[in-house]
Amino acid sequence: MVSGEDTQFLALLVHRGLVLREVAERIFPALQRGEELDRLLVEHTGLAPETVEKWRRTRAGEIPELPGYEILGKAGSGGTADVFRARERKTQRVLGLKVLNVESTRNPRTRAAFVSEAKLLEKLEHPGLVKGYGVFKSGSVYFSKMEFIEGHTLLELLDDGHAFDEKAALRVVLAVAEALSYLAANGIVHRDIKPGNIMLASSGELKLIDLGFAGQVDDAQQAAPASDTTVGTVQYLSPEQAQGGAADERSDIYSLGVTLFHLVVGRLPFQGSDDREVLRKQVMESLKSPELKSRGLSHHLQYFIEKMMAKDAAARYQSWQELIDDVRSQIEGREELDFESQIRARAQRRR
């Protein structure tokens, strides 16, 4: 009788492109009769027994085997790569290893972007960016080494039903804007600001974790078509990116405005049945949100969102410093009001 474990393993091999579907269909009747799957794989695919054994050990290549590293577990998955928590045997440091998946490794453009991102992270030094330690190749596996951040992305928190109040959301905007200001000072536009690319560490720090689409401000490269981006990316694109135009820091400001909206309202400002409809709304429809007024959010917050998400880039904040100054002033003003209200409350209790 066929075991459920072997059936699942064969399905995983097909899913990961290691065994052709027609080969699996030839194998399956014998597997149902109780024959050993590993022997069947060797006979029908011509693979060495050691290869099949490795597939078993690594869950069909899902768990990488990299010399010098002990894989401690998977920390996250993306469209092109998986991130693993690993111990570097030489130094005993716990690091994050970002491993390019098999399909993306076969794509020269995706592979080049992966290498470029890793080299870029290695050059940058800012507390709001994950520190990179280079890109490497082991056999056919491409991976980058980086600081490991224990925590959750803002998207994970939103998906779990976490609510961000105005104060917390503005602190996110301030921290991310400071990191993006550093990138802009180095001539870099991020191009993919969204909650899924912002990590809230268990220490309370906020860090940008993905520079996969980052490029020079004057780079002729245009935003990738919706079909080439990671899931959800189109929801945060600026109107100029939605139309296929080049991005500058004002495009990142727009995307951070969408992120701010998502954090405080709990939904995206523009939604549709497919990517094309969302892109059309990004370009054509004005921002409408009764929640901004009904939830007791301040006029200052509404102003930030509307200015950051202006359709015309010339009507947005024109620099990160301009945005940072406004948001920091609002945060400090709220803290001062909170402090004064605490003083008044204490004075009333003494009477």
Cα separation, 202 vs 28, whole angstroms: 47
Cα separation, 148 vs 25, whole angstroms: 42
**Residue 11, C-beta contacts closer than 8 angstroms, at least 6 positions apart:** 24
Tracing tokens 């804007």 back to the chain, one arrives at 177
Structure tokens at 103: 């399909």
Cα separation, 227 vs 275, whole angstroms: 8
At position 188, the amino acid (one-letter code) is I
Cα separation, 146 vs 133, whole angstroms: 5
* Residue 274, SS3 per DSSP: coil
Single out the residue of 210, 213, 211, 208 nearest to residue 225, CA to CA.
Answer: 213
Residues that are catalytic: 192
> Residue 90: how many CB atoms within 10 A of its CB?
8
For helices 21-32 and 37-45, the axis angle rounded to 10 degrees is 140
